[in-house]
Amino acid sequence: MRVLILGPQGSGKGTQAARIAEASGTPHVATGDILRAAVADGTALGREVAPILDRGDLVPDELMVGLIRERLAVEDSFVLDGFPRTLAQAEALDAMLDEIDKALDTVLLLEVSDEESTRRLLGRAAAEGRADDTPEAIANRLRLYHELTEPVVERYRQRGSLVEIDGERSMDEVFSAIANALERSQVTG
Ligand code: ADP
C-alpha cells in the first residue's frame, strides 16, 4: 500500500498516518520526524536544518528529495506524511515513482480551518514544547502551507486521486473515515 497524507499543520495527519501505518503494517515515513531525529542526534543534517525548523520555514527541496529518494529505494510500501510540500517535491515524487514503476494507491487530505489548526498547535505547544510551536512559527508554517502546499493538493485533486476527509471530528471518527477510504481504494484500485 502506498498512501500519501496531506493536510495543514495541526490537522492530525501525523497521528492518523501513524495509526494507518500500524493498522496495515506499512512503514510510516514522516519527514518532520526524520528531521527532528537528525536534530536530536546532532548529525550534519540535523545541524543544517535545526534553525530552519525553529523558524517554521521549509527545508530546501533538493535536500528533502534526496532524503525521500533514499527511503523509497528501501520501502516498497509506505504512508508518506509531510512530503511533498511544494510543487517541485511533487514533481520529483512522480518521477521517482515512475522510475521504479510504482504508483500511489491513495492521496488523503485532512481538512481543518486555520483557526482550528492554530488552536490545536498552541495547545500542543503547552503540552509538548515543540520548538516550532511558537505563535510566530505557527503563523509562518500555515502561511507556507497555503502558499506552497495547497498547489500540491490542487494537483492531486485535478488528477482525481484526492480523498478529502473532514479533520475537525474526533480522532476515532477521522480514523474510521480514512479506513473506509482506504478500503474503497483497495477494492477499486
Ligand atoms: P508540521 O506539519 O506541523 O509543520 P512536520 O513535523 O511535518 O510538522 O514538519 C516539521 C518541519 O520540518 C517543517 O516546518 C519544515 O521545516 C520541515 N519539513 C518537513 N517536511 C518537509 C518537506 N517536505 N519540505 C520541506 N521542509 C519540511
Catalytic site includes residue 130: yes
Q: Which of 55, 69, 71, 130 is catalytic?
A: 130
Q: Which of 2, 13, 19, 120 is catalytic?
A: 13
Model's pTM, two decimal places?
Answer: 0.95
Q: How many domains does the chain have?
A: 1
Residue 158 lies in a domain: yes
Q: Which residues constitute the domain of residue 14?
A: 2-177
Catalytic site includes residue 157: no
Average pLDDT score over residue span 96-107: 93
DSSP 95-154: HHHHHTT---SEEEEEE--HHHHHHHHHHHHHHH--TT-SHHHHHHHHHHIIIIIHHHHH
pLDDT band at 110 (very low <50, low <70, confident <90, very high): very high
Q: Please tell me the distance between residue 31's alpha carbon and the centre of ligand 1 in angstroms.
A: 6
Q: Please tell me the distance between residue 187's alpha carbon and the centre of ligand 1 in angstroms.
A: 32
CA distance 144 to 85: 9
Residue 66 lies in a domain: yes
Cβ(185) – ligand 1 distance below 6 Å: no
Give the CA distances from residue 83 to residues 2, 48, 69, 116, 184, in Å, rounded to whole numbers and listed in that order: 13, 19, 11, 22, 23
Residue 182 lies in a domain: no
Residue 133 lies in a domain: yes
147: region left, alpha or beta (phi > 0 left; psi from -120 to 50 alpha): alpha
DSSP 15-28: HHHHHHHHHHT--E
CA distance 22 to 28: 8
Residue 172 lies in a domain: yes
Residue 119 lies in a domain: yes
Q: Are 178 and 17 in contact (CB under 8 A)?
A: no
Catalytic site includes residue 143: no
For position 96, which CATH number holds?
A: 3.40.50.300
Reported as a single tens digit per residue, the pLDDT across 57-80 is 999 999 999 999 999 989 999 999
Residue 149 lies in a domain: yes
Residue 21 has pLDDT above 60, yes or no: yes
**pLDDT score for 149:** 98
pLDDT band at 26 (very low <50, low <70, confident <90, very high): very high
Q: Which cell numbers hold the place of 169?
A: 471530528
Residue 58 one-letter amino acid: L
CA distance 166 to 155: 19
Reported as a single tens digit per residue, the pLDDT across 125-180 is 888 888 899 999 999 999 999 999 999 999 999 998 899 999 999 999 999 999 99
Residue 183 lies in a domain: no
Catalytic site includes residue 141: yes
- Which residues are within 8 A (CB) of 185 and not within 5 positions of it... i.e. 6 or more apart? 105, 106, 163
pLDDT band at 188 (very low <50, low <70, confident <90, very high): low
Reported as a single tens digit per residue, the pLDDT across 80-101 is 999 999 999 999 999 999 998 9
DSSP 89-104: HHHHHHHHHHHTT---
